[in-house]
Structure 1
Amino acid sequence: MHGLFVTGTDTEVGKTHVTCAIARGLSAQGIRVGLYKPVCSGATTDPSGQMVWDDLQRLQAALPAPVELDRICPQRFAAPLAPPVAAQAEGKAIDEDLLRTGVAAWDDAADVVLVEGVGGLLCPLTGTGTIADLAVDLGFPLLIVSPQRLGTINHTLLTVEVARHRGLSAAGIVMNRLSPEIDASAASNAAEISRLAGVPVLGEFPFRPAVGLPEDGDNVKIDWWKVITETDVRSATRDSPY
């Protein structure tokens, strides 16, 4: 199975926004796409009293056909906290095996699966493990989402450093504008990150309002299939169950 693990320099930097855009772009090419978020925390309640996870609704909507929520995210918690803390608040624990095996639900249904992480690479995922540990076990190349703002160079380089330390292969970096305003650093951030990190900056996603995101980066011209398959070839020596 081809795959891409979408991580970020932090929480709320646009991982879901970018993942949805990639899913739509690949689907438009006739490529079967699977979406997997191993765990999600932070729900709201709809008028009927049902818990709703905004990120998961957007992921569901990015697929060309309806898919049950459990297939996208089998572990969901209400509190807007790190997953192990959110699970503990409900008297539960993260199922470590399911974090890794849940992606297999897409084995016969997808040509490529996009895995969206939680927070950044060192976000706690269990009592002892992090998102980076899961990324290593799944073996998919990383796509790093970096906010287009002052300070992003440091945060992006830290993420790349963690990835390299764990032996993770990075397919590239995308910059994401989080507000309509743009500061002076935006003119040089991408070039500096690419130069210092040794990882290509593939493109920049324009600002979209947080609600709806009707076009989810459709005007960003990146050949995602090429990015995924070429990175897979470069990292083919990595041991992975997929």
Structure 2
Amino acid sequence: MSVLFVTGTGTEIGKTVTTAAIAAAELRRGRSVAVLKAAQTGVGPDEPGDAAETARLAGPVTVSELARFPEPLAPATAARRSGLPPVGPQEIAEAAAKLAASHDLVLVEGAGGLLVRFDAAGHTLADAARMAGAPVLVVVEAGLGTLNTTALTALALRTHGLHCPGVVIGSWPAEPGLAARCNLADLPESAGVPLLGLIPEGSGTLPPDAFRAAAPGWLAPQLGGTGPALPEDAGTA
């Protein structure tokens, strides 16, 4: 797996921190990592974007950003309103392949969810992943409602003929409620794939050294980690 796409079941769900955690775990194993942000929205020209935040947390990764649009909207809408050219799936796939030629792992972070439009033709991250021939990891929420959005995203992945290695909970609460605890057992069934990580809420605010040291314990070996250790009451009512 030299290229891995990272999507979510919605916005503000923990994709960037999850991407950083995977990068940190792989760097700790001695692997070279590149992070590709397909389209950055809602960030000004001189502000750090998601790729830069990943590098801040994870360490020495190669970062690349294909397009940036100032308004916090879907990439296609943001591109149209800004008068800037959109980024298409072929461009994303080609950029990922170029980075893969010189790195052990390329992490491609999407914008929003899997089927958010990137251009006027309606192309999505799913189209880019298919062109790249790459699997798609799904970052999900912990609590009530996540089973439905996770199942819908998994269905969309299957419809597009894409492989999903698993799901990661992008923000696991310090004091999980009943729904979150039960979802640890129910999410793999809804998604049809394993649960590969639990990223503690607030992880992005940790000092970088602490983040890098802790990250492997949040992730399963399939993502370069040593965990995750599930709570003792996982799946219980």
Partner of 1:19: 19
The number of equivalent residue pairs is 219
The CA deviation string for residues 15-72 of structure 1, in whole angstroms up to 9 with x for no partner, is: 001000000100011011111111111114xxxxx521441221232454374xxx51
Aligned match of 1:78 in 56, 63, 70?
Answer: 70
Name the residue aligned to 1:118: 111
Asked if 1:100 corresponds to 2:93, the answer is: yes
Matched, 1:129 2:127: no
Partner of 2:55: 60
Task: Measure, in 2, the Cα distance between the counterparts of 1:212 and 1:89.
Answer: 36
Alignment of 1:1-242 (within 5 A): 2-44=2-44, 51-62=46-57, 64-65=59-60, 67=62, 71-96=63-88, 97-127=90-120, 128-177=122-171, 180-208=174-202, 211=205, 214=208, 215=211, 218=215, 219-224=217-222
| TM-score in terms of structure 2 length | 0.83
Superposed CA deviations along residues 113-152 of structure 1, whole A, max 9, x for unmatched, are 1111111111111112112111211121111111111100
Distance 2:140 2:207 in 1: 18
One-letter amino acid of the counterpart of residue 126, structure 1: D
Q: Following the alignment from structure 1 to structure 2, what is the Cα–Cα distance between the partners of residues 6 and 213?
A: 23
CA drift at 1:80: 0.8
Question: Percent identity, aligned pairs only?
Answer: 33
TM-score if structure 1 supplies the norm length?
0.81
The Cα of 1:175 is off from its aligned counterpart by 1.4
What SS does the aligned partner of 1:94 have?
A: coil
Distance between the aligned counterparts of 1:198 and 1:116, measured in 2? 22
**8 Å contact from structure 1 (residues 144, 173) kept in 2:** yes
Amino acid at match of 2:31: I
What RMSD in Å do the two structures reach over aligned CA positions? Answer: 2.3
Q: 1:173 to 1:199 in 2, by over 3 A?
A: same
Q: Describe the shift of the 1:74–1:25 C-alpha distance in structure 2 as closer, same or farther (beyond 3 A).
A: same
Superposed displacement of residue 180, structure 1: 4.5
- How far apart, CA to CA, are the structure 2 residues paired with 1:78 and 1:226? 34
Residues 56/34 of structure 1: CA separation in 2 closer, same or farther (3 Å cut): closer
Q: Output the amino acid matched with 1:116.
A: E
Q: Mind listing any 5+ residue stretches in structure 1 that lack a counterpart?
A: 45-49, 228-242
Superposition deviation, residue 209 in structure 1: 5.7
The 1:20–1:87 alpha-carbon spacing in structure 2 relative to 1, beyond 3 Å, is same
CA distance in 2, matches of 1:90, 1:221: 38
Measured against aligned partners, the alpha-carbon deviations of 1:74-133 in whole angstroms (never above 9, x if no partner) come to: 211111111111112221221424223222341342011111111111111111211211
Judged with a 3 Å threshold, the aligned counterparts in structure 2 of structure 1 residues 94 and 107 are, in CA distance, closer, same or farther, namely same
